[in-house]
Structure 1
Amino acid sequence: MKILVTGANGQLGQEVVKLLRAKHKVFGLGREQLDITNAQQCLFVLDEHQPDVVIHSAAYTAVDSAESEEEKAFLVNGEGTKSLAIAAERVGAKFCYISTDYVFDGTATQAYREDDETNPQSVYGKSKRAGELHVRSLSSRAFIVRTSWVYGRYGGNFVKTMLSLAKTRDSLKVVHDQFGSPTYTLDLALFLEQLIQTEKYGTYHASNSGVCTWYEFACAIFEESGIGIRVEPCTTEEFPRPAPRPKYSVMEHGAILANGFEDMRPWRDGLRAFLNELKEE
């Protein structure tokens, strides 16, 4: 297959490009090669490459900055996605849009299903939902893949931050009242590889399976790394941030299971694999 990946220099984009290159012809495009906010460039680049699939992982992801840069967040996540979806439809490509748990308000007490009402509370979440709506209305061959708490070998993320902090501190406070599912980029990339080869279009929730809080995630990182550090639980209110975080953003994997895909492995297994990979590096 010919696969065009946007955001190819990002945390997920780099993982996807590396994985798919083994079996497919992959065009990994960063912002320098494709500015998704330029509608004409989207049309030109997709016409030039004629991909079978577009995996759209480029996004404005600075969650807190988005609160003061609303226009920019919507330009990239909303209008940029719209331009890309139009261009993909024109060349007859499947369109896979990477979305987020932030489209939910986090007030649920049980896992969100793919068809549950979205109600984003942050600018970032609202801009990503705008992208989802454009994809639904403009693409006839679309996969919308919502994921959460992403980490991997490329770029900065929670796991790397915890390991870095442990080098200079003997204790840490980590939020214990936000629940979700960590997702290892390699596991997400493996699922995307399976998904795009089908015609099972629709919305998917894709994260490693299982639930934890950020505090529990931090404890697991140190336990699996053999690092002795004191981790104390705290509340969201103790660490105020510009953008509201969903308190509960656990997502049910109904579409993955209903469409015959294998569920993603438990989050702790994914974490262990990632930490082993870091050690080997």
Structure 2
Amino acid sequence: MHIVISGGSGFLGKRLQMYLLNNGHQVTILTRNIDGKQELQGVKLVEWMNEGNDPEAELKDVDAIIHLAGESIGGSRWTKSKKERILSSRLNTTKEIYRIISNLGKKPQVLIQASAVGYYGMSEEETYTEESASAANDFLASVVKKWENEAKDIQQLNIRTVFTRFGVILGNGGALPLMVLPYKLGIGGTIGSGKQWISWVHVDDAVQMIVYAITHTDINGPMNVTAPNPVQMKEFGQTISKVLRRPHWMPVPSFLMKLGLGEMSDMLLKGQYVIPEIAMKHGYTFQYLVLENALENILGKK
């Protein structure tokens, strides 16, 4: 298949590229700047989102588009300008995906639209599946809802659209290295109350669930990309401690997280218990069902 990826240079995108190449697919990456970027064998770089770009002219016989592009929600406090970039980057790139697809003679069979479990809001008691409604109005939930709503225009082009609602993706990138660092320094411990749920997924499962959604044409709409076994933050930290053979002893009070990170601390202090019901019903086989096994694989402790 010919698969186009936006946001292909990120942590998940790079892993996805390699998986697709290793399985014989043709890959095109949409990027804002091709200067200085070296194409991997089998990967074509196409510039987009700049004045004068005409990416659709270079996209021929596309079978699927995977849209991952958007400002990182981490890296700095959520200032007003940061929030604006988080939202606008997602909406503007999705509008451009719509424009590109509209102008393609042969349209792709499917769009995989990145989303997040933040859609559901945050709770220590509720269990969420793809059928769960959301009454949440916090910042992350509002961004995800607007992002998914923007992509619904693409559905009107008769393009099968899958909203991959990602949980916390575990790998050698993303949030995990920051969560592991205190343990490597010998000062790891429970963050906040420890009761908040972490709906996690190994990066290899995240990649393969994306491909599974492409190849299984009866999957449409939201699909949770999480492992079936969420854990509470206390257990998450204890498992890191066990795998690294480092102490788990120094708790991090909620007020310190809020003081240091502001509103962004909600990502660590609150959470949601999310089940990947669609993937399970369609027979996806998870590589990593148990957090300890996932962390052993990533952190190199066999």
Worse overlay, 19-28 or 160-169: 160-169
Find out whether 1:59 has 2:61 as its counterpart. no
Find out whether 1:143 has 2:201 as its counterpart. no
Find out whether 1:79 has 2:92 as its counterpart. yes
Equivalent positions of 1:179-258 (< 5 A) are: 179-199=197-217, 200-225=219-244, 227-233=245-251, 236-240=254-258, 241-243=262-264, 244-245=266-267, 247-258=270-281
Amino acid of the residue matched to residue 7 of structure 1? G
**Higher RCO (Cα < 8 Å, 6 or more apart):** 1
Find out whether 1:174 has 2:198 as its counterpart. no
Once the two structures are TM-superposed, the CA of residue 122 in structure 1 deviates from its matched residue by 3.9
- 1:35 and 1:60, CA in 2 relative to 1: closer, same or farther beyond 3 A? farther
Worse overlay, 97-106 or 228-237: 228-237
Q: Distance in 1 between matches of 2:56 and 2:127?
A: 37
TM, length-normalised to structure 1: 0.84
Deviation track 1:124-172 (CA, whole Å, cap 9, x = no partner) reads 442232111111232331111101111212x3422x2244333433454
- RMSD over equivalenced CA pairs, Å: 2.7
Once the two structures are TM-superposed, the CA of residue 21 in structure 1 deviates from its matched residue by 0.8
The answer on whether the counterparts of 1:103 and 1:119 sit within 8 Å (CA) in structure 2 is: no
Amino acid of the residue matched to residue 197 of structure 2? F
Q: Aligned residues: percent identity?
A: 16
Amino acid of the residue matched to residue 49 of structure 1? L
Find out whether 1:273 has 2:274 as its counterpart. no
TM, length-normalised to structure 2: 0.79
Once the two structures are TM-superposed, the CA of residue 267 in structure 1 deviates from its matched residue by 4.1
The answer on whether the counterparts of 2:66 and 2:111 sit within 8 Å (CA) in structure 1 is: yes
Amino acid of the residue matched to residue 192 of structure 1? I
Deviation track 1:79-106 (CA, whole Å, cap 9, x = no partner) reads 2212213423543122101111112221
Q: Which runs of 5+ in 1 are unaligned?
A: none
Once the two structures are TM-superposed, the CA of residue 4 in structure 1 deviates from its matched residue by 1.0
Q: Distance in 1 between matches of 2:171 and 2:251?
A: 24
Once the two structures are TM-superposed, the CA of residue 75 in structure 1 deviates from its matched residue by 1.4
Deviation track 1:179-225 (CA, whole Å, cap 9, x = no partner) reads 12222211110111222122222210111221212332122122112
The answer on whether the counterparts of 1:107 and 1:247 sit within 8 Å (CA) in structure 2 is: yes
Q: Distance in 2 between matches of 1:167 and 1:108?
A: 28
Q: Which runs of 5+ in 2 are unaligned?
A: 35-45
- 1:105 and 1:171, CA in 2 relative to 1: closer, same or farther beyond 3 A? closer
SS of residue in 2 equivalent to 1:193? helix
The answer on whether the counterparts of 2:6 and 2:67 sit within 8 Å (CA) in structure 1 is: yes
Residue 110 of structure 1 aligns with which residue?
126
